[in-house]
């Protein structure tokens, strides 16, 4: 296999072109098609392992970060990749102490014993004095003797089993032998060598992305139309921005689509109840938004008693779509596009909130839009409508340099809240009136730089809670900020900020509250319970979900079909017959591919012993109001006598609906023996208060 390399170089500020493209114009990207092809051949499931080296001469500790710190940041970066990319999915496969440069059997093969997949590593500074050593030519050390300012490089090679190995090399910290100033790796913006951005950039090279600011002549035919003006993660020269380049931007995603879209599975958004924490209801109780292909996890609003639960996600064209669910997970309002046209698309995750000013419930949907290759800003947009239906009122908001937005409603002030991150990673809140007017553009929730921001949950008395994740070595850790919102004048008062140092955060965070005395939260695929008091420690539980690490979970509160307040989870699930969830065009799904049980191996209803359909328990009695009869008649249609099913569709559907409701009741309200206790992963959660009692932006309310 030929060796190709991608390098990452900073010069302090981003290079911005002057031309502005019209919305919807083609993107700019540049590709290594051979890199993607090699991985697709090696990993047909499109799930690729990523290791951290702990071998003495290549350990990641040469960057100055400990093994645990480097791993925590890498896992967060992988989660950030997975939440926005349909394929390939990455997963942290652990530490590898065998990924050394020296191999006694073959001095010409540095990667003889390396595992297939991707390995992130560094090297000893003194190794640069041994450039004549045949096992370590300078090109494997990022050409550090000639490229001033270089920080990392990536290449694909083969190991001794002819398996594909992706090598991501980070230059060692404080090494005067590296051309340019010695590197000091950080995660809090204190230096320009940001581990989060660098991990993501170099992983992009391994997946097949080249530097997007190469010329069209260099990129050839597999490029967008404007590679000279790109400001995405894969640009070779970017500033030390924390929030802008820690997640894929539009052109990066377009490049991944070009290389990997033939490997994209079809996903639908599944939702199911989350009751009896820490127990987890089996996913066989889930319902799918059938017929709606999605490429993002769902954002669910907390719904009051008696109200349907609204949600938003992205369809397979990156359009923001809205739907509502009933208490039994059935669909009330099918997924529909919020804003047609290019401004209704986003590369981020749309967010939603539900509010009531006493005169009617409204839905608030927020997203970022209009990202262009040659500018580094996006536009915030939000949409309002009555919960029961009607047209959307769209508002073009302010410019933002990151696609991270979250939404909430404050009943004490009757205002919508829009949470964002500044370019430096500082959490901020915008206050928007109930009618959609912008009252306060940016209130800083200062004292902490953040990697992630979660949706605010507010109470009737002044007070809102929001989750963050810290942006520092030793993190990202879970943080909680409590604040109050006032309307006259529009202002935000920070009440407290607490960091739970030992609670890791891997991916998107969110909060929901079915009980005024407690909060339920998510951090990536982790569930936890959080008390109402600011310093209450989280009680984390990792649920045993298949595909849970591929997407972040969505979370919202609602009233179930037993008139109990509860929580609902949402997760994109690959459309597949046999997973126990009816999806797409399936008429049934009994969790297996065995014919003869009422649901055949293609998830079509079949006649078995007088019944059709089923969820794995063919046969049984029916309630009178759901009774139906399937009959066989002998008919002569001119081609001879044959058996004909009469009323098959109606009968099968009725049987299936009844079985699904019965099965769901069993899952939601099991006997004592049916409960399962997932392993607890919390351990001595430590908390530290960051700030309290400050007025960061806006005037203090009148006494």
DSSP notation for 669-688 = S--GGG---PPB------EE
Residue 254 to residue 240: CA distance in whole angstroms: 23
Would you say 542 and 293 are in contact if contact means Cβ atoms under 8 Å apart? no
Residue 198 to residue 7: CA distance in whole angstroms: 10
Three-class secondary structure of residue 128 per DSSP: helix
Q: Taking each helix axis from N to C terminus, what angle separates 33-42 and 250-260, rounded to the nearest 10 degrees?
A: 60
Residue 475 to residue 481: CA distance in whole angstroms: 17
DSSP codes joined into one string, 140-206:
GGTTTTT-TTEEEEEEEEE-TTS-EEEEEEEPPBT-TTSSSSPB-EESSSSSSEEHHHHHHHHHHHH
DSSP codes joined into one string, 453-507:
E---EE-SSS-EEEEEEE-SBTB-EEEEEEEEEEETTEEEEEEEEEEEEEEE--S
Residue 576 to residue 76: CA distance in whole angstroms: 28
Q: Is the peptide bond before 364 cis (omega within 30 degrees of 0)?
A: no
Closest CA to 120 of 63, 174, 192: 63
pLDDT at position 139, please?
Answer: 55
Q: CATH fold of 5-15+26-263, please? A: Collagenase (Catalytic Domain) (3.40.390)
Give me 605's structure tokens.
């209803």
**Local mean pLDDT, 10-residue blocks, the chain (703 residues):** 33 23 54 93 95 93 92 90 94 90 55 90 77 50 56 86 91 74 75 86 94 77 59 74 80 92 93 81 85 92 91 96 91 95 94 93 96 82 96 96 92 95 89 97 85 89 86 77 92 89 80 84 79 66 52 88 84 92 92 91 82 39 35 35 34 41 50 36 40 38 34
Count of Cβ atoms closer than 10 Å to residue 642 Cβ? 10
Would you say 532 and 104 are in contact if contact means Cβ atoms under 8 Å apart? no
What is the maximum alpha-carbon separation in the chain?
Answer: 91
Domain assignments of the chain as residue spans, ordered by start? 5-15+26-263, 415-426+445-538+686-703, 607-674
Residue 35 to residue 164: CA distance in whole angstroms: 9
Residue 81 to residue 68: CA distance in whole angstroms: 20
C-alpha separations of 325 from 76, 322, 355, 479, 503 in Å: 31, 10, 17, 31, 32
pLDDT at position 346, please?
Answer: 94
pLDDT at position 224, please?
Answer: 61
Q: What distance, in Å, lies between the first and last C-alpha atoms of the chain?
A: 72
Closest CA to 307 of 384, 363, 385, 383: 363
Half-sphere exposure of 139 (CA within 13 A, CB side): 9
pLDDT at position 291, please?
Answer: 85
Give residue for tokens 């990207």: 29
Residue 596 to residue 612: CA distance in whole angstroms: 10
Per DSSP, helices labelled H in 216-278 are 216-219, 250-260
- CB-based contacts of 37, cutoff 8 Å, min separation 6: none
Q: Taking each helix axis from N to C terminus, what angle separates 195-207 and 67-82, rounded to the nearest 10 degrees?
A: 60
Instruction: Please list the helix, strand and coil fractions of the chain in percent, rounded to the nearest 5, in that order.
Output: 15, 40, 45
């Amino acid at each position: 296999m030929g060796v190709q390399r991608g390098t990452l170089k900073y010069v302090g500020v981003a290079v911005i072109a002057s031309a502005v493209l019209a919305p919807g114009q083609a993107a700019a990207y540049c590709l290594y098609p051979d890199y993607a092809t090699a991985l697709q051949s090696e990993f047909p499931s499109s799930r690729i392992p990523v290791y951290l080296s702990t071998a003495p001469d290549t350990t990641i500790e040469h960057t100055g970060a400990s093994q645990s710190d480097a791993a925590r940041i890498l896992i967060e970066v992988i989660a950030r990749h997975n939440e926005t990319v349909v394929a390939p999915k990455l997963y942290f496969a652990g530490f590898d102490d065998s990924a050394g440069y020296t191999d006694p059997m073959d001095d010409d093969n540095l990667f003889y014993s390396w595992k297939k997949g991707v390995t992130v590593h560094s090297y000893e500074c003194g190794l640069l004095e041994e450039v004549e050593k045949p096992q370590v030519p300078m090109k494997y050390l990022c050409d550090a003797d000639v490229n001033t300012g270089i920080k990392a490089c990536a290449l694909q090679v083969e190991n001794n089993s002819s398996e594909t190995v992706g090598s991501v090399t980070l230059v060692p910290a404080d090494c005067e032998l590296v051309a340019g100033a010695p590197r000091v790796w950080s995660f809090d913006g204190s230096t320009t060598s940001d581990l989060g951005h660098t991990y993501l950039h170099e992983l992009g090279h391994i997946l097949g992305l080249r530097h997007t600011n190469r010329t069209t002549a260099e990129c050839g035919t597999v490029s967008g139309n404007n590679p000279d003006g790109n400001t995405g993660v894969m640009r070779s020269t970017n500033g030390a921005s924390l929030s802008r380049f820690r997640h894929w931007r539009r052109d990066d995603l377009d490049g991944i689509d070009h290389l990997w879209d033939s490997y994209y599975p079809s996903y639908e958004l599944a939702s199911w109840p989350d009751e009896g924490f820490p127990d987890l209801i089996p996913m066989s109780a889930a319902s799918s938004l059938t017929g709606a292909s999605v490429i993002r996890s769902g954002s669910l609003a907390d719904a009051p008693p008696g109200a349907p639960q609204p949600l938003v996600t992205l369809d397979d064209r990156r359009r923001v779509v809205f739907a509502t669910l009933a208490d039994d997970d059935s669909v009330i309002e099918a997924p529909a596009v919020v804003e047609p046209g290019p401004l209704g698309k986003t590369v981020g995750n749309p967010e939603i909130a539900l509010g009531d000013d006493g005169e009617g419930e409204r839905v608030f949907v927020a997203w970022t839009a209009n990202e262009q290759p040659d500018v580094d800003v996006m536009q915030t947009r939000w949409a309002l409508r009555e919960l029961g239906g009607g047209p959307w009122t769209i508002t073009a908001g302010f410019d933002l340099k990151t696609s991270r937005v979250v939404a909430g409603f404050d009943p004490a002030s009757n205002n919508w809240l829009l949470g964002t991150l500044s370019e430096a990673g500082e959490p901020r809140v915008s206050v928007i009136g109930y009618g959609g007017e912008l009252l306060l553009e940016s209130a800083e929730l200062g004292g902490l730089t953040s990697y992630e921001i979660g949706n605010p949950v507010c109470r009737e008395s002044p007070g809102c809670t929001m989750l963050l994740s810290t942006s520092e070595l030793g993190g990202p850790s879970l943080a909680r900020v409590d604040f109050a919102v006032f309307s006259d004048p529009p202002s935000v008062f920070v009440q407290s900020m607490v960091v739970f140092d030992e609670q890791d955060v891997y991916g998107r965070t969110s909060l929901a509250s079915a009980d005024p005395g407690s909060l339920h939260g998510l951090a990536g695929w982790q569930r936890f319970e959080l008390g109402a008091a600011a310093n209450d420690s989280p009680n984390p539980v990792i649920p045993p979900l298949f595909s849970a690490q591929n997407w972040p979970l969505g979370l919202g509160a609602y009233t179930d079909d037993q008139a109990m307040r509860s929580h609902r989870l949402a997760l994109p699930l690959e459309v597949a017959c046999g997973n126990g969830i009816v999806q797409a065009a399936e008429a049934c799904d009994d969790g297996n591919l065995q014919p003869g049980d009422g649901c055949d191996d293609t998830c079509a209803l079949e006649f078995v012993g007088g019944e059709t359909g089923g969820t794995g328990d063919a046969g049984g009695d029916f309630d009178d109001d759901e009774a139906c009869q399937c009959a066989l008649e002998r008919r002569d249609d001119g081609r001879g006598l044959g058996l004909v099913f009469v009323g098959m569709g109606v009968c099968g559907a009725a049987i299936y609906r009844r079985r699904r409701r019965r099965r769901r009741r069993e899952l939601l309200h099991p006997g004592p023996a049916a409960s399962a206790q997932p392993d607890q992963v919390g351990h001595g959660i430590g908390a530290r208060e960051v700030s309290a009692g400050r007025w960061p932006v806006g005037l203090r309310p009148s006494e």
